[in-house]
Amino acid sequence: MLAAVTVFAALMWPSSSAAAVPRKDSVDAGFARDMAVHHQQAVELSFIVRDRTDDEDVRRLAYDVINTQANQRGMLLGWLDVWGLPKSSQQPYMSWMDHDMSGMEGMDGMKGMDYKAHDGSLMPGMATNRQMDQLRRAKGKAAEILYLQLLTAHHKGGIAMSESAAGMAKTEEVRRLAQGMVEGQQAEIQLMADMLKARGAKA
pLDDT in the model for residue 48: 99
pLDDT in the model for residue 115: 86
155-165 burial code (b ≥16 CB/10 A, e <16):
bbbbbbbbbbb
- The residue ranges of the chain whose pLDDT is under 70 are 1-19, 98-113
Q: In the CATH hierarchy, which fold is given to the domain comprising 22-87+119-198?
A: Ferritin (1.20.1260)
Residues 6+ apart with CB under 8 A from 180: none
Q: Which residue type, as a one-letter code, is found at position 158?
A: G
- Collapsing DSSP to helix, strand or coil, 100 comes out as strand
pLDDT in the model for residue 22: 95
Please check whether residue 77 is in contact with residue 161, taking contact to mean a CB–CB distance below 8 angstroms.
no
Domain boundaries, the chain: 22-87+119-198
pTM score = 0.85
pLDDT in the model for residue 146: 99
pLDDT in the model for residue 114: 76
Residue 44's Cβ-count burial label (10 Å; 0-12, 13-18, 19+) is middle
Please check whether residue 38 is in contact with residue 158, taking contact to mean a CB–CB distance below 8 angstroms.
yes
pLDDT tens per residue across span 114-131: 789 999 999 999 999 999
- Collapsing DSSP to helix, strand or coil, 21 comes out as coil
Give the DSSP H/E element, type plus range, for residue 95. Answer: none
Between CA 180 and CA 173 the distance in angstroms is: 11
pLDDT in the model for residue 97: 85
Between CA 129 and CA 121 the distance in angstroms is: 7
Distances (CA, A) of 75 to 8, 158, 189: 9, 16, 23
